[in-house]
Structure 1
Amino acid sequence: MVKKRQLLLDAALALFEEHGFAHTTIQMILDLSGVSKGTFYKFFSSKDDCILAIMEQRMQEDVQIRKNLETQSYASEFDLLVDQLAVPMTLPEKQRIQVLFWIGLYSGEFDSAELAGMQLKWLSERLVHLYGEEIRPYAYEGAILCYGMLYQIANTYRIYRLNEPLWKELVPKVLVYTDILLRSMQARHEHIFDSHSLSQISSQEVHHLTDKNTLITDLQAFDRMVQQSREPATTKELTRGLLFLLQQDETNRTLLQVVLQAFQREFETNVFYPEARRIQNQMEWYLEQIN
């Protein structure tokens, strides 16, 4: 079943690239993948759900890339952030997803608010860490401007069929200009977004992503399904253990990550895989944000 899900995702990605999201139908995905309609709906509720699954999968890979880079030695936090932004953009598979992500975000063809919120949350915190707490009130706007410049650069290169951008040279320049804009906003006490819009961007979406109580509720519902199933005792104990760790007042991030890895392996070939994968993604996003 896991292989069929990946076949669907690979076929959908190829079709979204060739025909665009709006002009790709579920039947086209089924024809290219060779997977039945019934199997498609076991994994995805809609075409939107399918493209979001593609992006979630790649975003988790980005999270791991960023974490791996943090273990390396850098001369400065600036150099680390440059690589955290540039390295994923140099990988062919990432470039394909980034095009779809930004097109979807700007066109509104599908709802990518949660994924955008995750990206903006991460970069805004990195900008605060790099440039200081004094820019925090403007950090989300800085993240939007930074990603916006990177997207427009990538889009311009693509439209004019230029050679691939040298991201490790371009990203530092974009970060420098982002810093200049942030300092100017701070000096003027001036925001680009009105307070209501900024509150929606920086608080409501992120709160939804980082709400521990919601994660606990979701995991409790999942645990009930597993406990009532015919799954082995080890599978049931693993799910119950993950729930127990999440319910603790003080989050043991290291232990949660270890158990989450075991959770992922346990459910990879399991009938509960789609729901387990969703739980895993939410948990990893939560852990990423409390880092």
Structure 2
Amino acid sequence: MNDRKHRVLLTAQRLFIEKGFAATSVQDILDESKISKGTFYNYFSSKNECLMTILIHAHEITAARRKELLIGKDRSDKEVLARQIAVRMEIHREQQLVPLFEAIFHSKDRELREFIKKHHMAELAWLSRRLVDVYGKEADPYALDCAIMVAGMLKHFINVWVTGLKEDVDTFRLINFILRRTDSIILNMIQTKDNLLGERLFLPYEESFKKDLYTKEQILESLLSFSNSLGEGHKGKQYADFLINEIQSDLPRIHLMETVLHAFADAFNNTPSEKEAKELAFSISDYMNALQKQAR
């Protein structure tokens, strides 16, 4: 996204929050952004698309932060999951997105409501996959049902906490409390083989999960291409070349790779290559986790 388009989005977001989405016109956005109508419609086909782009951008930031938290970590670590769940709440709070979601929820606009439905289902699909990481493959048939319950508990506890106690939510205390309850719920579901909606609902969202998985060959190809694009003296290239050698090895040294992986990702902070480096680091971390599981 170019800087000018990003500034228009920030202006539109501020207006949607201050005036309300329905009360904000495209002309309001043009006046505040000091752009022409042609420029606006070059960026967005409609005011709806402008709002959806704001929410998609927030979703992409959430996904990137969640992936970063997993780099070099055990996917079954419940504390990592708690921090990942908290990321979405933090992004919504930082960017004041709750009023925008509420505006769509109360809207009769079919396009926006369908967008939010897909957004919500994608979040449930992500959470269900992470629950399988934490509780094991035997939790797979029950994970989406459990994800729905976790999401429901979060929503209602937050609502009661804010309206009843009239104080800020202690995010990590709440999430960890709910995950402790989830221990009993999902283990009982596995023991009793009791599921409701999960297996039927999850099918349309499995493809998005498969797109996140990369083979050894794909990772090496991407990492080699990335390394070749860097200058010889770049610190990140040294880390990339080390990782390439380890991945190609018959006995990759996982613990050394974990240390170098963090250094590799950090070497590109606040650079144009940051996003690509973080995506690569996440893919390599996933590959390392798979190797560790095979070794057990």
- TM superposition score category, shorter chain reference: 0.5 to 0.7
For residues 77-122 of structure 1, what are the alpha-carbon distances to aligned partners after superposition, in whole Å with 9 as ceiling and x for unaligned? Answer: 0111111112443457546235534764686751124433332222
1:151 corresponds to which of 149, 155, 159: 155
1:100 aligns with 2:104: no
- Which residue is 1:18 aligned to? 18
- Which residue is 2:61 aligned to? 61
1:117–1:206 Cα contact (<8 Å) kept: no
Gaps (5+ residues) in structure 2?
230-274, 287-296
Return the offset for 1:157.
Answer: 4.6
- Which residue is 1:4 aligned to? 4
CA shift in 2, pair 1:20/1:165, >3 Å: same
For residues 244-278 of structure 1, what are the alpha-carbon distances to aligned partners after superposition, in whole Å with 9 as ceiling and x for unaligned? Answer: xxxx9976146547869999xxxxxxxxxxxxxxx
User: How many residues in Structure 1 have an aligned counterpart in Structure 2?
Assistant: 230
1:118–1:206 Cα contact (<8 Å) kept: no
1:119 aligns with 2:123: yes
What TM-score, normalized to structure 2?
0.62
1:120–1:143 Cα contact (<8 Å) kept: yes
The one-letter code matched in structure 2 to 1:169 is: R
What TM-score, normalized to structure 1?
0.62
Return the offset for 1:204.
Answer: 1.7
For residues 13-46 of structure 1, what are the alpha-carbon distances to aligned partners after superposition, in whole Å with 9 as ceiling and x for unaligned? Answer: 2233234434433233223322222111111112
1:175 aligns with 2:179: yes
Gaps (5+ residues) in structure 1?
213-247, 264-279
- Which residue is 1:228 aligned to? none
2:75–2:134 Cα contact (<8 Å) kept: no
**Partner SS state of residue 112, structure 1:** helix
2:83–2:172 Cα contact (<8 Å) kept: yes
CA shift in 2, pair 1:25/1:75, >3 Å: closer
1:17–1:100 Cα contact (<8 Å) kept: yes
1:58–1:94 Cα contact (<8 Å) kept: no
For residues 215-253 of structure 1, what are the alpha-carbon distances to aligned partners after superposition, in whole Å with 9 as ceiling and x for unaligned? Answer: xxxxxxxxxxxxxxxxxxxxxxxxxxxxxxxxx997614
CA shift in 2, pair 1:66/1:36, >3 Å: same
